[in-house]
Copies of this chain bind each other. A is one copy, B any other.
Amino acid sequence: MIYFVEDDVNIRKLVCYALSKEGYEVKEFSDGSDLKKALEGNIPELVILDIMLPGEDGLEILKGMRNEERYKDIPVIMVTAKDSEYDIVMGLDSGADDYIPKPFGMTEFIARTRAVLRRYEKTKSERDYRIGSLHVDPGKHIVTVAGQEITLSYKEYTLLLALLKAEGKVVNRDTLLTDIWGEFYDESRTLDVHIRKLRVKLGEAGRLIHTIKNVGYRLGGSVYE
């Protein structure tokens, strides 16, 4: 799913048409506040942002996104008529993944979109995780230990996935807390309790979760795992 933010109706329709003809699903927005509402519901694979917008401009929206844990990995392409170098530099430095100056040809537009998505796919790749006897299929939402299906609650599952995504690297307590609980819980034992439940439910695979005192937790990654 691609989110496209642009106030000019003609351009919007044109681009959406072209993108969907290429097989992409697109949702269009005319300003930043609409986009924000939509982001709360769903995380798109790519956001294409006009810099010149009524209300909050594209750069500000971008900066806002880069500061929020949930949104900061979404690739963003900036589009604008102001093709002064200054804007390009600002956009790239604020963390845009690419920059397309108006007027643009549709072919170039599509190509850049595809390039950014390709780059993104390379890191993400939706696949199963297998570590020891643990097997998780994120697509199907199924967790298995030694062939036995395990039922996890929502938080437990989210936590497990957060650890899996790190691929054997340590995940900070804070990172987990803010990613899963949203930075409110500071001094609470909530995380520990959930880790424990996970360990228990995972049975023999529970030992894959390592505590790194004063830092966080790590799933797998040891020499023999």
Which A residues form the contact surface with B (CB < 8 A)?
Answer: 85-86, 88-89, 92-93, 95-98, 105, 107-108, 111-112, 114-115, 118-119, 122-123, 125, 139-142, 144, 147-149, 153-154, 168-170, 212-215, 218, 221-223
Contacts of A170 in B (CB 8 A): 139-141
A223 to B142 alpha-carbon distance, docked (Å): 9
Query: Could you jot down 24 A-B contacts, CB within 8 Å?
Result: A85-B105, A85-B108, A88-B112, A89-B108, A89-B111, A92-B115, A93-B111, A93-B115, A95-B118, A97-B115, A122-B123, A125-B169, A139-B168, A139-B170, A140-B168, A140-B169, A141-B212, A141-B218, A142-B222, A144-B223, A147-B223, A149-B223, A154-B213, A154-B214
Contacts of A139 in B (CB 8 A): 168-170
